[in-house]
Amino acid sequence: MKNMKYLLLRRSVQLGILFLYFSANAYGWHILEGTFGTSLLFGTIPLADPYTTVQVLATGFILGTDVLLGALIITMFYFVVGGRAFCSWVCPINMVTDLANWLRRKLNLDKEEVNYRFLKRSARYWIMVVGIIVSALVGVAAFEVFSPITIMQRGIVFGFGMGFAVVLAIFLFDLFGVKNGWCGHLCPLGAAYSIIGSQSIIRVEHDHEACTNCMDCKVVCPENQVLHMINKSSISVTDGECTNCGRCVDVCNDDALKFSIRNFTKNK
Amino acid sequence: MATTVQSVGLATLGGMLWSGYSDSVKASPLVLRPPGALAEKDFLTACIKCGLCAEACTNRDTNIDKETGKARVGTLQMAKGGDSLLIGTPYFIPTEVPCYMCEDIPCVPVCPSGALDMPSLLNEKQELDINKSTMGLAVVHKESCIAFWGIQCDACYRACPLLDVAITLEYQKNDRTGKHAFLLPIVQDTACTGCGLCEQACVTEKPAIFVLPNDVAKGKAGDHYVKGWDSKDQERVGNAKAEVTTTELSKKNVNDYLNMELEY
Residue with the bigger pLDDT between A66 and B168: it is: B168
Do A216 and A247 lie in one domain? The reply is yes
Q: Which residues contact B202 (CB under 8 A, 6 or more apart)?
A: B155, B156, B208, B209, B210
Do B104 and B64 lie in one domain? The reply is yes
Do A106 and A233 lie in one domain? The reply is no
B151 touches chain A (CB under 8 A): no
Distance (Å) from the alpha carbon of A206 to chain B's nearest alpha carbon: 35
Do A21 and A147 lie in one domain? The reply is yes
**Residue ending a domain, choose from B89, B109, B132:** B132
Helix extents (H) in B150-230: 155-159, 197-201, 214-217
Residue with the bigger pLDDT between B69 and B166: it is: B166
Do A25 and A107 lie in one domain? The reply is yes
Average pLDDT (A119-135) is: 89
Assess if residue B19 is contained within a domain: no
| Range in A61-75, B69-83, B110-124, B151-165 with the lowest mean pLDDT | B69-83
Q: What CATH number does residue B175 fall under?
A: 3.30.70.20
> Which residue among A38, A130, A161 sits closest to B48, beta carbon to beta carbon?
A38
Do A76 and A152 lie in one domain? The reply is yes
| Range in A94-98, A158-162, B47-51 with the lowest mean pLDDT | A158-162
Assess if residue B126 is contained within a domain: yes
- The yes-or-no verdict on residue A19 having pLDDT over 90 is yes
Do B189 and B118 lie in one domain? The reply is no
Assess if residue B244 is contained within a domain: no
Distance (Å) from the alpha carbon of A95 to chain B's nearest alpha carbon: 21
Q: Cα A115 vs. chain centroid, distance in angstroms?
A: 22
Q: Cα B258 vs. chain centroid, distance in angstroms?
A: 51
CA distance linking residue A203 with residue A236, whole number of Å: 6
A residues 21-40 lying closer than 8 A (beta carbon) to B: 24-25, 27-28, 33-35, 37-40
- The yes-or-no verdict on residue A268 having pLDDT over 50 is no
Encode pLDDT of B68-80 as tens digits: 877 788 899 998 8
Segments forming the whole domain that contains residue B45 = 27-132
- The yes-or-no verdict on residue B209 having pLDDT over 80 is yes
Say whether B18 and A130 touch across the interface (CB within 8 A): yes
Assess if residue A157 is contained within a domain: yes
Q: What CATH number does residue A231 fall under?
A: 3.30.70
Assess if residue B2 is contained within a domain: no
Residue % of chain B over a pLDDT of 90: 54
> Which residue among A37, A137, A162 sits closest to B50, beta carbon to beta carbon?
A37
Sequence-ordered strand ranges (E) for A77-228: 202-206
Do A49 and A130 lie in one domain? The reply is yes
Do B108 and B143 lie in one domain? The reply is no
Q: CA nearest A66: which of B42, B103, B118?
A: B118
Assess if residue B80 is contained within a domain: yes
B173 touches chain A (CB under 8 A): no
Assess if residue A64 is contained within a domain: yes
pLDDT value for B6: 82
Give the three-class secondary structure for A41: strand
Phi first, then psi: what are they for A257, rounded to 5°?
Answer: -130, 135
A residues 201-240 lying closer than 8 A (beta carbon) to B: none
Do B125 and B52 lie in one domain? The reply is yes
Assess if residue B144 is contained within a domain: yes
ipTM value: 0.87
Do A104 and A66 lie in one domain? The reply is yes
Q: At residue B91, what is the residue type?
A: Y
Segments forming the whole domain that contains residue A236 = 201-261
A56 touches chain B (CB under 8 A): yes
Q: Closest-CA residue in chain A for B86?
A: A145
Per-residue confidence band for B134, with pLDDT thresholds at 50, 70 and 90: very high
Average pLDDT (B107-119) is: 91
The structural domain count of chain A equals 2
The structural domain count of chain B equals 2
- The secondary element (H helix, E strand) that includes residue A60 is none
Assess if residue B83 is contained within a domain: yes
Per-residue confidence band for A13, with pLDDT thresholds at 50, 70 and 90: very high
Assess if residue A173 is contained within a domain: no
Do A188 and A223 lie in one domain? The reply is no
**Residue ending a domain, choose from B96, B112, B132:** B132
Do A191 and A217 lie in one domain? The reply is no
Question: Residue A257 pairs with which residues in a beta bridge?
Answer: A206
Do A188 and A205 lie in one domain? The reply is no
Do A188 and A217 lie in one domain? The reply is no
Do B71 and B160 lie in one domain? The reply is no
A46 touches chain B (CB under 8 A): yes
Assess if residue B196 is contained within a domain: yes
Phi first, then psi: what are they for A182, rounded to 5°?
Answer: -75, -60
Do B119 and B214 lie in one domain? The reply is no
